[in-house]
Structure 1
């Protein structure tokens, strides 16, 4: 089954996931600023969109095997994959390092996934996942680097536009680039500007733009659990090269302050990745646009640490 990431793919994804995901709510936050509450999505992040689109596309094409789907990810992508597999009544086999947090393992099993703990690093779990896919015939999924995954994530942009007519700028955090690539593809269709935000020490997209190709980067940030990809996708780099896209880096202290501000000012609990997008707005020094939407992309976090986080200045 051939796939490419373009606006037609995003519209096809919207058709496939309709009724299966929660439409994004868009709420006012301040003058000229709105929040897209995607952290309220099934499984606690935007990843549900891409995972459901990926499996639905294969189901409609008759290429979804009885062996189901497999992925190496203990984070948001793994949860979304397990959730989507349950919706399509196929098995999900998720590979994690042996030191994966028990809470993640339990949540995955709660969605009906078979969890296999292999090695002490992600690379070991990924190798085992690839071996399992080759031997079992299970469909191999990816956390972000696939056109169907990115297109599913991109459906969020049109929902934001529907809730906020006149939208001119969307601000989104970037890890491996699936969400950014999908949103930027849809935004380009409508002349909406995109601000792609990364932590200073998790800068896979920013580094790829500087090198004019995807390159490996070191990962060290409070948002590394969600944004800690060592290399950005080819589709994300291609999307970032278009006019109307701006790459921005923010320090960890600004991310922590933005996350705390969301709680203090709005009683919104989000993970550090979602706060990364808001940090760009708070540190910009000038408005990023006349009608700006910040994507709050996920909420899989421990709210207990908000009590000890430093108050925003």
Structure 2
């Protein structure tokens, strides 16, 4: 695989993980606007094994290494805000290999507890993902463990892209898919599959965690500060080159949303649907609840055209349900 994923990468991933992940379920209508029937379709990927889309990439990564005979005795290691670590630990347990997962000390307790339930060796380092990543890289170099990545690897991104293949199979008339973006693994994979099917991709980021948006404005990946309610899952300091290349496609929009819209989208899903997702997953829906503004790259929010068939990816649900009914901050 080269710098940009292609449809063959996605189809190869789909063959590897067939029967190892749950097919995505779709729900029609709902909060927001966009579909011909009065609201966007919702891709319920939070029902996936380990509670997020990350299971797809983890399965593709480890299965590919299993097929190549390159899974070391030292096992696999990964740095994560939580969801990628969960997926890696789950897939590693299925492959019978050890998983050592590095997380920032700020990771949600619910994710740490689930990681340990999968048998992972959990190591808490620093306050941000970047610090956990540095510790993970040192560990891999010292032990010979296979280093996976939360999002910056072609096999991880290709696995994530299988989600769009399944969505398109159920909605062949799909015009647009909205996905939340952190480091860009899900987006890069989805964009590769979407390009083959003529589907527009809207990449949605919190305004306080805009690695992809900033990269497009700067002409390449750059470091950004992270300050968002969705930072635990979308808090990458830098977007991948794969994601930046994919975002330059003609059928891609990069937009921002404020934290207030993310919180509102998450509560709307709970109050209207009894869907409990993390703030990162609600970020994609927040684009439909945000007033659009024109900016240097994409602007804020997304408004579908009349008759545009839209699907919003709800990508993860590793959250504390108690926070869904907590009083809003003043």
| Same fold by TM-score greater than 0.5 | yes
Is structure 2 residue 261 aligned with structure 1 residue 243?
Answer: no
Which of 82, 92, 106 lines up with 2:89 in the alignment? 82
Give unpaired runs (5+ residues) of structure 2. 31-37, 293-302
| 2:207 corresponds to which of 200, 205, 209 | 200
Q: Which residue of 2 aligns with 1:179?
A: 186
Q: 1:135 aligns with which of 136, 142, 147?
A: 142
| Cα distance between partner residues in 1 of 2:87 and 2:163 | 16
SS in 2 for 1:29: coil
Matching residue within 143, 152, 177 for 1:145: 152
- Alpha-carbon separation, structure 1, partners of 2:58 and 2:169: 23
Match of 2:316 in 1: 298
Q: TM-score, normalised by structure 2?
A: 0.89
Does the 8 Å CA contact 2:4/2:245 hold for their aligned counterparts? no
RMSD over equivalenced CA pairs, Å: 2.0
**Mapped contact 2:110–2:319 kept (Cα < 8 A):** no
Q: Is 1:8 aligned to residue 8 of structure 2?
A: yes
Q: Residues 206 and 265 (structure 1 numbering): CA distance in 2 closer, same or farther, change over 3 Å?
A: same
Residues of 2 paired with 1:134 and 1:43: CA distance?
27
Is the deviation greater in 62-71 or in 36-45? 62-71
Tell me the alpha carbon deviations over residues 10-50 of structure 1, each in whole angstroms, 9 at most, x when there is no partner: 11000111111110001102425200000111111000100
Q: Which ranges of structure 1 fall in alignment gaps of 5 or more residues?
A: none
Q: TM-score, normalised by structure 1?
A: 0.94
Deviations 1:57-100 (A, max 9, x none): 11111111122100122410111110010011111111234565
1:128, distance to aligned residue in structure 2 (A): 2.8
Tell me the CA shift for residue 273 of structure 1: 1.0
Tell me, in whole angstroms, the C-alpha distance in 1 between the residues paired with 2:253 and 2:128: 33
Matching residue of 2:221: 214
1:153-168 matches, within 5 Å, as 153-168=160-175
Q: Deviations over 1:200-234 (max 9, x none)?
A: 11111111111111011111111111111111000
